[in-house]
Chain A
C-alpha cells in the first residue's frame, strides 16, 4: 500500500503541479505569450506535431549516434590507457581539458571545421558525452582484484585473455554507470550544438525549433519543444538505468 503510493507519488505530484499551473494561468489571466498553461502547450504540440516530431527525430538521431561513438571512443581509450601507462600519461590531461572546457565555447569551431552539419553536431555531442564512459570504464578496469590478475598470470593467460575474460567483464558495472550519465549528456551536447549551429542556419532539431519559435514569439510552441526534450532526457536516463539493472542481474544472478 505504502509502496504503491510511493511509486505513484511523482506522477500524482506532477498532475497536481500541472493542475495548479493551469489554474493560476486561468485565474490570473496570464497571456500565453508570457506563460502558456499546459493545455495551450498541448494544443501547440498538436498543431505543430509534424514539424516537432521531425525535429525530435533529428535531435535523437544526433544523440544516439553520438552516444554510440562516445561508447566506442571511451571504451577504446580506457582499454588503451589501462594497457599502457605511457599512453595514459599522454592522454589523460587532454581528456580532462576537453571535459572542463564548456562545449558552447568549442562548438563554433567544430561547426566551422566540420562542414557536414549532422557530423558537426555529432562531434559536439561526443565531446560532451564520452568523458563519463572513459573515466568510469577506466576505473572499472583498474578495479579488478589483484589476486585474479595473479591467477591469470599463474595460468599463463595472454593479454587478450586477461582483457576479455577478466578486465572487461569486471568493468561492465562501472561502464554501464558511465553510459547512463553519458546518455543524458549526449542529449545535452546535441542540443547545445544545435543552438550554436542554429544561427548558422542548417539545423532542424528541437533546439533549432525553440529558437525559431522564440523569434516568432510562439511561446507555447517553445514550451512544447522543451517538454519533448525533457521527456527524451528522462526516457534515455530511465532506459539506460533499466538496461544496467537488467544486464547485471541477468549476468550475476544466482
Chain B
C-alpha cells in the first residue's frame, strides 16, 4: 500500500519527532503504531495523511491518495455539535461536492455499519461518548477510503465501551479488508487489534520492533494464550527500549 523510506520529521522549533522510519505496509494490514506519549505516533499519522510533510525521507504510495481516499479518526470524536449524526457523516461527501440525495444511501450505510442506524437524527449532545466515537468512525468510512488512520480513538472511553468498540472495529476490518493504521499507547489494545505492530522508541521515535502476530480468531481472543503471550512479548520489547528500565 505504501512504503516509508527513512522518514524523519523535525518541527520548526527543532523538536525531532521521528527519525529513520522505514517500513513497508501491505494492503489490508491492520497496523498498530505503539509507543509512549510524545514518541511521534500522531506525527507519523499526520505525515501519512499529508497534513504534514516529512523533513527527510519519503513516503511512496502504490496509489497516491486524493481527497476522500483517507479516513481520519481523531482521539476526540470532534463532531460538529450543531449537526445531527447523519449531517456529520455526510460532511466529508458534502465537502467534495456530493449531492445530499446521492449521498443519503452511503450515509445510512455508514451509520448502520457502526450500529447507529436508528440515531441518524440525533445531535451529538444526545449521544454517549462511545456513540459519538461511532459517528466519528462512520464519518471516516463514508467515503469508502482505501486507508483508515486512527489516532488513539478509544483512549478516552471507559473500559467496557472500549472493548465493545475494539470488537466492532476488529470485525469491521475483517469484513472490509481495509488497511488500517491505528495509533495507541496501550499494549493490550495493539495486541488485540493488529496483525502488524510497529513499536516506536521514545522521542525521537524510531521503529524498535516490527511484529506480525497472529492470534486465532474467535470469541476467546482476549483471554487466549496467544494473546497473553503477545502482550508479554511486547512488554519485554518495551523494557529493552525504554530508558530507565532494566
Instruction: Using CB atoms and an 8 Å cutoff, list the residues of chain A in contact with chain B.
Output: 145, 147-148, 150-157, 161, 165-166, 169, 172, 251-254
Contact partner, A169, options B80, B94, B126, Cβ 8 Å: B80
**What are 15 A-B contacts defined by CB distance under 8 Å?**
A145-B76, A147-B76, A150-B49, A150-B74, A151-B74, A151-B92, A154-B49, A156-B66, A156-B96, A172-B82, A252-B125, A253-B125, A254-B122, A254-B125, A254-B126
Q: Does B239 contact A (CB under 8 A)?
A: no
Given A154-B49, A161-B95, A145–B123 Cβ distance below 8 Å?
no
* B95 in contact with A152 (CB, 8 Å): yes
B76 cross-chain contacts in A, Cβ below 8 A: 145, 147
Contact partner, B82, options A145, A151, A251, Cβ 8 Å: A251
Given A252-B125, A254-B122, A147–B80 Cβ distance below 8 Å?
no
DSSP class of B's interface residues: helix, strand, loop or mixed?
loop
DSSP class of A's interface residues: helix, strand, loop or mixed?
helix
Residue among A153, A154, A165, A252 with the highest chain B CB neighbour number at 10 A: A154
The CA-CA distance from A145 to B136 in the complex, in Å, is 15
The CA-CA distance from A139 to B43 in the complex, in Å, is 27
The CA-CA distance from A172 to B80 in the complex, in Å, is 13
* B51 in contact with A150 (CB, 8 Å): yes
Contact partner, A147, options B74, B82, B92, Cβ 8 Å: B74
B49 cross-chain contacts in A, Cβ below 8 A: 150, 154
| A152 and chain B: residue at smallest CB distance | B95
Given A156-B95, A252-B123, A148–B51 Cβ distance below 8 Å?
no
A151 cross-chain contacts in B, Cβ below 8 A: 72, 74, 78, 91-92
* A147 in contact with B123 (CB, 8 Å): no
* B126 in contact with A154 (CB, 8 Å): no
Q: Report the minimum CB–CB distance from A159 to chain B (whole Å).
A: 12
Count of chain B residues with a beta carbon within 8 Å of a chain A beta carbon:
26
B80 cross-chain contacts in A, Cβ below 8 A: 148, 165-166, 169
Q: Report the minimum CB–CB distance from B155 to chain A (whole Å).
A: 14
Q: Does B67 contact A (CB under 8 A)?
A: yes
The CA-CA distance from A165 to B51 in the complex, in Å, is 20
A161 cross-chain contacts in B, Cβ below 8 A: 95
B70 cross-chain contacts in A, Cβ below 8 A: 154
Contacting residues of chain B (46-81) with chain A, CB-CB under 8 angstroms: 46, 49-51, 66-68, 70, 72, 74, 76, 78, 80-81
Contact partner, A165, options B68, B91, B124, B125, Cβ 8 Å: B91
* A154 in contact with B123 (CB, 8 Å): no
Q: Report the minimum CB–CB distance from B149 to chain A (whole Å).
A: 9
| B121 and chain A: residue at smallest CB distance | A254
B74 cross-chain contacts in A, Cβ below 8 A: 147, 150-151
Contacting residues of chain B (121-136) with chain A, CB-CB under 8 angstroms: 122-126
Given A154-B72, A157-B95, A145–B78 Cβ distance below 8 Å?
yes
The CA-CA distance from A148 to B74 in the complex, in Å, is 9
Q: Report the minimum CB–CB distance from B68 to chain A (whole Å).
A: 6
* A153 in contact with B123 (CB, 8 Å): no
Given A147-B78, A148-B78, A166-B80, A155–B92 Cβ distance below 8 Å?
yes
16 more CB-based (< 8 A) A-B contacts, given A147-B76, A148-B80, A252-B82: A150-B46, A150-B74, A151-B72, A151-B92, A152-B95, A153-B51, A154-B50, A155-B67, A155-B92, A155-B96, A156-B66, A156-B68, A157-B95, A165-B80, A169-B82, A251-B82
Q: Report the minimum CB–CB distance from B2 to chain A (whole Å).
A: 16
Contact partner, A155, options B68, B78, B122, B123, Cβ 8 Å: B68
Q: Report the minimum CB–CB distance from B228 to chain A (whole Å).
A: 35
A153 cross-chain contacts in B, Cβ below 8 A: 51
A169 cross-chain contacts in B, Cβ below 8 A: 80, 82
Residue among B46, B92, B95, B96 with the highest chain A CB neighbour number at 10 A: B95
The CA-CA distance from A166 to B91 in the complex, in Å, is 10
The CA-CA distance from A150 to B75 in the complex, in Å, is 13
The 8 A-B pairs of least Cβ separation, nearest first, read A254-B126, A156-B67, A155-B95, A147-B74, A147-B78, A157-B95, A155-B92, A251-B82
